[in-house]
Structure 1
Amino acid sequence: MGDATISGETNSSGGQTIRPEEAAHFGSLARDWWDPKGSSAMLHKLNPVRLQFVRAAIDAHWGADPESLQPLAGRSALDVGCGAGLLCEPLARLGADVTGVDAAPENTAAAAQHAEGVGLDIRYIAGEIAALDIGTFDLVTCMEVIEHVADQHAFVAALADRLAPGGLLILSTPNRTPQSQLLLVRAAEALGAIPKGTHHWDDFVTPEELRGLLADAGLTMGEPRGIGFSPGKGLHLSGDLALNYIVTATRA
């Protein structure tokens, strides 16, 4: 399930490539985004799994102490397609100076309100990632977003443009497999686990395709980790990439 939808051209004018229908879909969910039993309940279950990977990747990339409470202290972080801030807030608690960008103004408004309510100083901006003059960041995250954009090649190039020298990019996305079509689209929508119309299976990206997109943007992809599900474990990091996966990327 996507956190949000946003895309960017790489031309100097920052051409508009956000899919309006996708932005409207996710913006309509802004009101109850922080309700763990609401329409974004699946994201609340997915977020701790992502964070487990993110924390390990941060520690490995910068040689941080695994016991440190703020391994991102003194570093900047950008979450692209931030929704209402489910990932931005943990990144801020890890010490980062955080910016969240999203296509839907409803989402950034909800994110800013929630951050203020819990005492976190996070900058939220609605708009086209390639068109925003926001500089570069040590950490760039993009969770369940690339499958929603109008131009995946241009979008990845825009993400790479936001990455500071020596920086780390982390992405997660559903894999395009028969298993994901059955479970993440048909079954999940039929059972009400995600809102109808959230996923379009044809837009899912395989690890091989993502590796190529990243390479075209001058980035090297790390070894992907699957995000699987079982009745006993629930959502968890796995060696099985069939449903969903998460990866790091750095400059080649």
Structure 2
Amino acid sequence: MKRSESGHSDAVRELRRRADSIEISGDYQYRAMTEGNPIQRFWHYSKMLAIERLLPPCAGDSILDVGCGSGVISNFLGSFGARVVGIDANPDAIRFAAEAYSSQRVSFRLGLADQPFGPEASVDKIYCLELIEHIHGFQAKPMLDNFYSLLKPGGRAFLTTPNYRSMWPVIEWLLDRLDLAPPMAGHQHVELYHRKKLRDLCLASTLSLEHMGAMSFLAPWIAPLSWRWAKRVAKMELATSLTPGSVLVCVVSKKG
């Protein structure tokens, strides 16, 4: 029996997803934010609007940005006066982020989402934007339980992921077919979430679900016409939990 259990554990470790099956440029998120078309730029910019509305950092907060990519969001979080550590499994992304954004408040290191990143009860907030779809489902709950261990009592975590019961599957198909982004289906995105699946994951974890909503329904498509109106629409989408948006947003907490 022990040998069988050991073999099962070894198999699970082999199945754990440590990186995407294709190489993602270390500066991908940075270029999407600064050089992409208006829809793509607003798609990434809207994550900052969501953070500002749902879980803005406070000066002096200790923060983890898990799956930080190019470091754009880590840098944004640091602008609030928080101390931020960005973590990613892509060495090229960590190198780019460190060169572009390292400061007294913001630093970067290699790490995996479902492994411990530091001492227990040491973090005020954790941000994990569009990462859980890149790892297998059996890794997601250990990741959230890991967040619980890292958060201080009363600490909170902010997560986003594509909503596969929205227009997102069509958008993803077009992006893949027109080669407008690194291939997603099966290469980057291996676990597909919708509201109920994400809610069930959060409720099965040791964290408490505070908010579940969605964004990027209409706002990104307005951006080519008017960035100002796109911002207004994005804020309205975030103001209700009923928006049928292409990106799910949730906030979970560790009760004090």
Q: Give the TM-score, by structure 1 length.
A: 0.75
Letter in 1 for 2:111: G
Task: Tell me the equivalent position of 1:225.
Answer: 213
Q: Deviations over 1:107-129 (max 9, x none)?
A: 1111000014xx56412110224
Task: Report the more deviating stretch, 99-108 or 27-36.
Answer: 27-36
What residue is the counterpart of 1:19 in the other structure?
17
User: For the Cα contact (< 8 Å) 1:79–1:101, is it kept in 2?
Assistant: yes
CA distance in 2, matches of 1:95, 1:108: 21
Tell me, in whole angstroms, the C-alpha distance in 1 between the residues paired with 2:246 and 2:141.
22
Equivalent residue number for residue 122 of structure 1: 106
CA deviation after TM superposition for structure 1 residue 21, in Å = 4.8
Shift of 1:17: 6.5
Residue of structure 2 equivalent to 1:112? 98
Shift of 1:201: 6.2
Q: 1:18-97, aligned counterparts within 5 Å?
A: 19-22=17-20, 25=22, 28-35=24-31, 36-37=34-35, 42=40, 44-58=41-55, 72-97=58-83
1:193, CA displacement in angstroms? Answer: 3.5
| 1:172 partnered with 2:160 | yes
Task: Say whether the 8 Å CA contact 1:149–1:155 is kept in structure 2.
Answer: no
Q: Structure 1: how far apart are the matches of 2:198 and 2:75?
A: 27
Change (3 A) 1:208 1:33: closer
How has the CA–CA distance of structure 1 residues 80 and 17 changed in structure 2, closer, same or farther, with 3 Å as cutoff?
farther
Q: Which runs of 5+ in 1 are unaligned?
A: 1-10, 60-70
Change (3 A) 1:125 1:240: same
Structure holding more helix per residue: 2
**Cα–Cα, structure 1 residues 90 and 21, in superposed 2: closer, same or farther, change >3 Å?**
closer
Q: What is the DSSP-based 3-state SS (H/G/I as helix, E as strand, rest coil) of the residue aligned with 1:140?
A: strand
Q: 1:187 to 1:168 in 2, by over 3 A?
A: same
Question: 3-state DSSP class of the match of 2:211?
Answer: coil
Equivalent residue letter for 1:114: A
- Report Cα offsets for 1:205-250 as digits up to 9, x if no partner: 1222222222222222233222124333558352423421211111
TM-score (norm: length of structure 2): 0.74
For residue 201 of structure 2, the aligned residue among 200, 210, 213 is: 213
Please say if residues 211 and 220 of structure 1, whose CA atoms lie closer than 8 Å, have aligned partners that are also in contact. no
Aligned to 1:187: 174
CA RMSD across the alignment? 2.9
- For the 8 Å contact 1:78–1:101, the answer to whether it is kept is yes
- Give the number of equivalent residue pairs: 221
Unaligned runs of 5+ in 2: 1-8, 224-229
Is the counterpart of residue 245 in structure 1 residue 248 in structure 2?
A: yes
Q: Give CA-to-partner distance per residue, 1:87-133, whole Å, 9 cap, x none.
A: 100100011100011011111111000014xx564121102244444
Distance 2:47 2:205 in 1: 24
Deviation at 1:147, TM superposition (A): 0.5
CA displacement, residues 111-163 of structure 1 (integer Å, 9 cap, x when unaligned): 000014xx564121102244444123101000000001132222222222222
| Larger mean Cα displacement after TM superposition, 146-155 or 96-105 | 146-155
Structure whose alpha-carbon radius of gyration is higher = 2
